Structure 1
């Protein structure tokens, strides 16, 4: 029994030393991952095809690296390969029957559109638009990212929309 206890204690010592080594040999705790989950609480989207309006983010559910500083942009915490997911919900118009209502969402990295998705539903069906947009790619530190939305086919001027964006760092580019 004493021999077995000695082996377990040696393994525990080895594991403790390994953890300290993996942390970077400095004894500091590892930093939280570069990731964020941010919500846009809702806004009115004016009618007009190609009339893009950025979502104004309202609250960060998780953002340890402070990628969101307010407004409509999120900036990369570090240069690398990122995974981005956007979920958008928007009302459809109910005023004109037997027509089609379009909602378009695009993801902008700087001035470049890197992803886009559309939703089309018949009016007066009481169905909400739900758009799930995903993108993976290079995102450089400090470059802003923005989610924009437009809608048309509505006889009324605006529809309500809200969104959530999730970003997570995948790996360095080296």
Structure 2
């Protein structure tokens, strides 16, 4: 029997980025398929947006970050500041989620209205195998995870204290969270 999970994705860092990104996500586990649908509105326009679910490998319940997580009080919640409440980046919603290759250029791109819709059927057995290799368990525990959508224009002025650089190619503009939501069983 299929199991459905949903998330209402709410804005994060909207004052710093000038737009209140929001949307919905739906995950349906059916047999060996995880069907993922994510639709976002009011994201920064005409750019790629990384999106993932985050969580704790040991199974602790993850929660979405809020401005309360702005530990250094610079006006933005950056990726490192989300980790105490949300855990680590786990599964990307890119061209090949089951490969769990986080830094890449195959994430959705918003249109000139700041909208995008991501839809993907993922082989659950392949995803669970890679998840187990990475995190030591094959239980995705979606209802203990949160979704994050990331990405602001490279020319947006961010405080020097903003963290989240993964490499020289992927700086804190790529990883800055713009929206987040708790995943729950439907």
Normalised TM-score (structure 1): 0.37
Whichever of the two has the greater Rg, that structure is: 1
- Greater share of helix: 2
- Greater share of strand: 1
Normalised TM-score (structure 2): 0.35
